Amino acid sequence: MPANSLQSQSQPESQSESPSPPSPYLLEMRGITKQFPGVLANDRVDFNVKAGEVHTLLGENGAGKSTLMNVLYGLHQPDEGEVRMNGEQLSISSPSDAIARGIGMVHQHFMLVPTLTVTENVALGLKSDRRPLTDLPTVEKRITELSQAYGLQVDPNAYVWQLAVGERQRVEILKALYREVSLLVLDEPTAVLTPQEVEELIAVLRQLATDGRGLVFISHKLHEVMSVSDRITVLRDGHVSGETTPAETSREQLAQMMVGRPVKLVPDKPEVDVGEVKLVIKDLEVEGDRGNLAVNGISLEVLAGEIFGLAGVSGNGQRELAQAIAGLREAKSGTVSIDGTDVTNAHPSSVRKAGLSYVPEERMRDGVVSGFSVSENMMLLSRRESEFARFGFMRFGAIKEHSSNLVDRFAVKTPNIDTPTRNLSGGNIQKLILARELSSSPKVILAAQPTRGVDIGAAEYINEQLAKQKANGCATLLVSEDLDEVLALADRIGVIYEGRLMDVIDAKTATPHQLGLLMAGVAKAA
Amino acid sequence: MNLLAIVDFSVVEIFAARSGWSGFFTLSTLVVTIAATIRLATPFVIASVGESVGQRSGVLNLGVDGVMLLGAFGAYYTTLETGSPWLGLAVGTGVGAVMGLVYAFITVTLHAQQGISGIGIYLFGLGMSDLLFRQLVGTPKPIGGFEGLFEFSVPETRFDVAYPDLYNHSILVYMAFLLVPAVTLLVNRTTFGMNVRAVGETPEAADSLGVSVTRTRYSTIIIANSLAGVAGAALALEKGIFIQNITNGMGFIAVALVYFGAWRPIGVMAGSLLFGLVNALVLQWKTLGIISGATAQLAEMAPAAVTIIALVVVTNRIGQPSALTQPFRRGAH
Amino acid sequence: MKLHKFFSFVLIAGALALFAASCGSDDDDDTVATTAAPTTEAPAPPLRIAIVSPSASNDLAFSQSISDGVNALGDERNIDVAITDGTFVVEEAAAQIRAYADEGYDLVIAHGSQYGGSLEEIAPDYPDTTFAWGTAADTFGLDNVYAYTAAADQGGYVLGTMAGALTNSEVIGVVGPIEVGDAKLYVDGFKAGAEAQNSNANVSVVYIGSFSDVALATETAQAHVGQGADVMTGSAQMVVGAVGVAQNEGVLWFGTQADQRSLAPEIVVASQVYKWEVILQQIVDDMDSGASGGKAFVVTLENGGLEIAYNDAYDLPANVRQLAEDTIAGIIDGSISTS
């Protein structure tokens, strides 16, 4: 382990000094309980990690994984329970305490300062030998050593804003390694990576474990969990619902432990005869927020009864493409037509009239008015229809009935239809949007990241609904960065990279490896 | 330098008539204009370089003008009572630091909205400085400030004889311009400065690495407000006087100059000098009768207009700290 | 987006400047109650007089002149005075004028030409209250408004002739605020006097565009000195900075509106002083006779409302002193025109 020659100043040596009795565990969390207003986020949770293992913490959103890790990292104080490292009880009241104890965390939302260089980001918070001045050359040298030792290639002098997502993650890991962590927590580290990057990351994680560190891997992607973990602990509703190892379990069992009932992971793909062309995009160019060409000449067609999956790492033009189709962003050139109607740069209401239903990526911002009630959000589309309004006044009786119907049909879990939408979980908000969008019997569905951040149960339901619409002869453009989802649902798969469509592949023959290469911009995979 | 003196001498002789453009293009007039530019820019340089430090850490203070007024009064009154401008300067700085502590408590500890809190500080400073002035002083009484007391002088040269105005400023002017490299060094080359930049950009990231957002912001706010106090003190000590609202809104211009300078001390200084130059030019042209009447009234708007136009045209928006005006709460994102 | 942020900032800054003034004056309200000179007769209720003025009442300039004048009135009769000063925001002043009228003051003095528009709206709402507005010549045809002003050009002319006589460099500098009202009258009179006395004199007039910018006033004085001025004058409260420059540079200074010799005893030659009590007395007398407005009054050298206050600490040559006295006499008897 190459970590003893450097002078990391923030960390007291954690290995031999404590006189506590030998513990088989590097980390022990016992009986952690944390209550938030209205939510018992952690309910007597036990969790431990041995040196040299990768221990996965698995659970739905809101199951309590983040709370548990925030307790470990000093961001929350537990109401009850204790944390021990190497048998010694700790009180961790801030991230600096955690760092001093050799705990490192790679957060899901990277904790990097974009306007600082890689070296500065690593040096941040460390004492410098040249106080009060910084000592960046020393830090840079050490970073280079570490990145060579672990294959974490990154330019120490680059600004973080210049880096790709995968590189930023490497910086996060380097930050932890520089601080000689003995325990490293990675929160959803694969969410933003291509399959190849995921493989590289897993290799790095295995090496870190082999070097004697303990790793906590947080994920909800079951196949990654199966491949990386030594042990798996599943959380559900704030308590531990099971502990197992990959050898003893299966993805289906894990999903059941997460949700509390059997879950169909791979939706049935109905065989539907495709019909005529419903959505045509031709040579579309769209500018991004910074005036760059975010969509750079994309052409594609989606047929009735077909789901076209658009895969790609997020930030490659998917958002701009979806917005341009829905009439929310100006197309610079090219055309979009829906069911034979040209809707290029048409007003969003015209686009909808032509037959489009849109499930937006930013569901809290673009999908609902979060302060509105469930029924008001249900009505957003149809509020001018005579059925629900007379002389511009809303007919509340009809609206209530319609909303209640939809809530039942789409299994939206809400106390009642007057509940403010912001109080619903992500999965239920997505169901609400789906209920609203699909109830208008669309010809074309544009679904952007429909299951991102949604629990497995709701994702299962959403996927079923999309499959059902397909059977009804709807043409669906499914934009997703979840390859499993795309492979499971789509009939054809296109891969978007830097605003271009790399290739379109028949889903029957596509493999994750092949798609991953395309997602990384390697043209026409062999 | 010798040559310069001769040239000037002849120029003065040739254009003895001192009206119109010919009067403006004499070396001595140009020198006077440059000297006026530097003097006019001084309080802005101090206040806005200070405010840039606060903003780099993500804290906007619209109360700069109020703190300047309190600093100006503190320095004025102390000097009036003790006769020591140095003591006055120290009190002005201290008053600024105390106001910084108050503002930091309000915005960092209590997480108050920065815009409104800054306005509160401004109102407090405006009212309090005036009240204290009436209660303690009453009628304006001139004080001996640094003017004449601590003037910088170099060994005599021919240049010295010809253009003392160029460098014959009070020590405060030199201190103001020395702040620019000092703060640049502080922000870019020290661990504290790195923390400041990180806290102003991504406070969560800094916090996750054990950098105390609270302590960093307290420090920068106190630095920023101390310098606002110094700026006010410089104004009162340079002019040797205090009156109600003596800053005349300078603090707000100073905040605007931070945007203009893209949060970099050198840019902020350039903005201050530009503002000072436009003021000095307009004034000099009026003095020489080059502009008069309606033109002169129009020209009075020039400094503000130039500042706004320059802000719109020049300002490099990339420099804005992402977390500017955002209160930080751990684990709240 | 970012631009939007800047503009909202500018808006906020502007709005808060207004707000500031309004709130600021809440803590500044200096309600001075003076009950002076008890009358020998039956204790008549005191005459209640309120003043609203734009700058500090101790500014050694515009606002001080009116509060000194009203207080001087107290030597003659029983009065009760309230002052709200520092109301450089017109809306705030208007609110205060209304408040005084509501409180039943007999005479409400709006001491600022910028308050005219507000007064024109307010006065008809309070027919039982008498208002005085200065410096102005117009009563809007309202019979409960008096207007008062100063023939500031007269004193300006006198001081100008002295300046013309005293200058050696024949360069004279003037630091003015904004080219309106009695500041303009004074400056025009001063320039005319100086040029009449000394045809070679070059009188450089600079209006800085502000009544409160001390820094700019100071630099303007510095610029005059840079151009060789050895005599300067200026009007309004921000001139305190310019007087400092004059002091440092050994340049002579003439003051106006109030006696400014305390600012710089060595170099202040003389000041034009307003004795508003002269016309205030006329207003009060007019009120006693049953009227409540509709007239305009002017303080002049002739009626004693304008005085030239010489600085005893300055060694004024006797011939210049005599020149000044002759000029005053000439203006009073009409043989000298100030324009």
Is residue B59, in this structure, part of any structural domain at all? yes
Confirm or reject contact between B240 and chain C (CB < 8 A): yes
DSSP code of residue A420? B
CATH number, span A23-259: 3.40.50.300
Predicted pLDDT of residue B167: 66
With contacts defined as CB-CB under 8 Å, which chain B residues touch C253? none
Predicted pLDDT of residue A392: 66
Burial class (CB in 10 A: 0-12, 13-18, 19+), C152: buried
CB A421 within 8 A of CB A368: yes
Is residue B89, in this structure, part of any structural domain at all? yes
With contacts defined as CB-CB under 8 Å, which chain B residues touch A107? 208
A57's enclosing H/E stretch is strand A54-59
pLDDT, averaged in runs of 10, over chain A (526 residues): 41 47 82 85 91 91 84 90 89 88 88 93 88 90 92 91 87 92 90 82 91 90 88 91 90 87 76 86 88 89 93 87 91 92 89 88 78 81 62 73 83 81 79 84 89 79 87 91 86 92 90 86 60
How far off is chain B from C231, nearest CA to CA, in Å? Answer: 14
| A122, closest residue in chain B (CA to CA) | B209
Is residue B147, in this structure, part of any structural domain at all? yes
Residue type, B78: T
Measure Cα distances from A117 to A113, A122, A129, B137, C33 in Å. Answer: 8, 9, 19, 54, 67
The CATH homologous superfamily for domain C47-151+276-299 is Response regulator (3.40.50.2300)
Is residue B126, in this structure, part of any structural domain at all? yes
Across the interface, whether the CB atoms of C171 and B18 are under 8 A apart is answered yes
Is residue B278, in this structure, part of any structural domain at all? no
How much is the ipTM here?
A: 0.80
CB B58 within 8 A of CB B324: yes
Pick among B55, B57, B191, B316 to test the A interface (most A CBs inside 10 A): B191
| B207, closest residue in chain A (CA to CA) | A95
Considering only the beta carbons, identify the residue of C24, C202, C248 that sits closest to B147: C248
Considering only the beta carbons, identify the residue of C2, C212, C227 that sits closest to B248: C212
Task: Count CA within 13 A, CB hemisphere, residue B42.
Answer: 27
Residue C323 phi/psi, 5° resolution?
A: -60, -45
Predicted pLDDT of residue A5: 40
Confirm or reject contact between B245 and chain C (CB < 8 A): yes
Residues 6+ apart with CB under 8 A from C287: C106, C107, C130
Across the interface, whether the CB atoms of B208 and A131 are under 8 A apart is answered no
With contacts defined as CB-CB under 8 Å, which chain B residues touch A128? 191
Q: What is the DSSP string of C38-70?
A: --SSS-PPPEEEEEE-SS-TTSSSHHHHHHHHH
Across the interface, whether the CB atoms of A113 and B195 are under 8 A apart is answered no
How far off is chain B from A122, nearest CA to CA, in Å? Answer: 9
Q: What is the CA radius of gyration of chain C?
A: 21
How far off is chain C from B297, nearest CA to CA, in Å? Answer: 7
Predicted pLDDT of residue C28: 39
Task: Count CA within 13 A, CB hemisphere, residue C155.
Answer: 33
Confirm or reject contact between B39 and chain C (CB < 8 A): yes
With contacts defined as CB-CB under 8 Å, which chain A residues touch B210? 10, 94-96, 99-100, 125
Q: Which residues of chain C have pLDDT under 50?
A: 1-39
Q: Which residues of chain B have pLDDT under 50?
A: 1-19, 149, 158-161, 333
Spell out where A99-182 has E strands: 103-106
Which ranges in chain A are annotated with CATH 3.40.50.300? 23-259, 277-519
Is residue B324, in this structure, part of any structural domain at all? no
A277-519 has which fold?
Answer: Rossmann fold (3.40.50)
CB B108 within 8 A of CB B214: yes
Across the interface, whether the CB atoms of C227 and B312 are under 8 A apart is answered no
Confirm or reject contact between B243 and chain C (CB < 8 A): yes
CB B126 within 8 A of CB B65: yes
Is residue B260, in this structure, part of any structural domain at all? no
Predicted pLDDT of residue C157: 95
Residues 6+ apart with CB under 8 A from C196: C157, C160, C161, C164
Considering only the beta carbons, identify the residue of A111, A125, A132 that sits closest to B204: A111
Considering only the beta carbons, identify the residue of B23, B130, B235 that sits closest to C215: B235
* CA proximity to A23, closest of A98, A83, A84: A84
How far off is chain B from A75, nearest CA to CA, in Å? Answer: 6
Considering only the beta carbons, identify the residue of B122, B123, B241 that sits closest to C244: B241
Across the interface, whether the CB atoms of B243 and C238 are under 8 A apart is answered yes
Domain of B225? 25-248
Predicted pLDDT of residue C58: 77
Across the interface, whether the CB atoms of A70 and B202 are under 8 A apart is answered no
With contacts defined as CB-CB under 8 Å, which chain B residues touch C17? 249, 252
Given phi > 0 = left and psi -120 to 50 = alpha, else beta, which region is A240?
beta
Give the count of Cβ contacts less than 8 A between chain A and B: 79
Residues B286 and B266: their CA atoms lie apart, in Å, by 30
Predicted pLDDT of residue A460: 84
Residues A231 and A25: their CA atoms lie apart, in Å, by 13
C contact chains, 3+ CB pairs < 8 A: B
CATH number, span C152-273+306-333: 3.40.50.2300
Domain count, chain B: 1
How far off is chain A from B200, nearest CA to CA, in Å? Answer: 9
Across the interface, whether the CB atoms of C224 and B311 are under 8 A apart is answered no
Parallel, antiparallel, or unpaired: how do β-strands A88-90 and A80-85 relate?
antiparallel
CB A70 within 8 A of CB A201: no
